[in-house]
Amino acid sequence: MGLFSFIKGQFIEVIEWNDTTGSVVYKFPVYDNAIKMGAQLIVRESQAAIFVNEGVIADIFGPGRHTLSTQNMPVLTGLKSWKYGFNSPFKADVYFVSTAIFTDQKWGTTNPVIMRDPEFGMIRLRGFGNYSFRVNDPALFMRGIFGTNESFSADNLNSFFKTLIVSTISDILAESKIPVADLAASYQELSHQAGMRLNQSFNDIGLLLVGFVIENLSLPEEVEKMIDRKSSMNIAGNLDQYMKYQAAEAIREAANNPDNGIAGAGAGMGAAMAMGQMFTGVMNNSNSNANPNPPAPQAAPSPATPPLAGTVACKHCGHPNQAGAKFCSDCGTPSAVVSYCSQCGSEQAPNSKFCSVCGTKQ
């Protein structure tokens, strides 16, 4: 190393981090890792500075202005085996950790979660929301997840926690057994339960889960259509009215879509016929509801049909036979000695000379 570089390493007097990137961890670039004893360390609010010696976490500094010396770096002094009053440049890695709250971190299900619903059976559910966190224990966070990276962002943590969040949400939804139609009314309770469970996993790596929110749990399109249809049925009041509504909608759509041609006309006619049948069924149901046990209709007596002129009706089967026939040509029954008016066909007394009904000479 040249003289200028040596002097540059000797005169590093201020170590600070002006966070403008939104990183969780930032490694301060120390030239040749040489820090002058007595240098000023500036740690802002919502920050922590960690000195690492050969991969081992040494001293941690909170917010404030610190003058680096053997007195305020006891761990590093012990690791370096410095004597009291050591006043020469030393080598160490300096990491700044942001302890601010990182808000609006997104989570969502990559693949739908399969769950059982009491009304719709097996369904696929998707969800998304956001959460907030901050570093609660910088040293534990460095040991648990950060490692030796130059920087570490909230997006890296999002990838780390994505699977954990989705798995926890799936367990909570399955255990809650809340019908999908009632999930929207339980977002707050489900979010609270998920936050309580996830916070333990966050604490294990030095983080604190500040807030967790379920924004939406969405259903597949076919399930949403089923819910819409059921809502329409509830609004209609009963199945008959819903079917009439559906038939009327089909007719309207067919009438408004002339491009369908014969197919559209056929669909409209079919819908109209179905609608007419439904109306008939409804009217029958209405009549039966009005009088559940209606009296059986009485058959109107059929008027006697007189035989044709010049014929005699069989007394057994009513078949008209020629006057004077001794047997019925249809059933073979012997003919009674009965005479009928040749004009009006009314039955006459034996040996009548004139019809008693129309007066025709017999």
Of 138, 208, 153, 132, nearest to 26 by C-alpha is 153
Residue 238, pLDDT score: 59
- How many Å apart are CA 127 and CA 164, to the nearest integer? 14
Per-residue pLDDT, 288? 52
Residue 114: its pLDDT value, please?
83
pLDDT for 193 = 92
Contact call for residues 64 and 15 (beta carbons, < 8 A): no
Q: Please give the structure tokens belonging to residue 241.
A: 């009215």
- For position 236, what pLDDT does the model report? 56
Which SS3 state, helix, strand or coil, does residue 57 take? strand
Q: Which residues are registered as beta bridge partners of 67?
A: 40
According to the model, what pLDDT value does residue 259 have?
Answer: 61
Distance separating alpha carbons of residues 160 and 164, to the nearest angstrom: 8
pLDDT of residue 281: 58
Residues of the chain with pLDDT under 50: 1-9, 262, 265, 282-283, 286, 290, 299-304
How many other β-carbons are positioned within 10 Å of the β-carbon of residue 121?
Answer: 8
pLDDT of residue 266: 54
Give the pLDDT confidence of 342-360 residue by residue, as tens digits: 778 777 776 778 888 888 8
| 11, two tokens | 């005169």
At CA 340, angle to CA 336 and CA 344, rounded to 5? Answer: 155
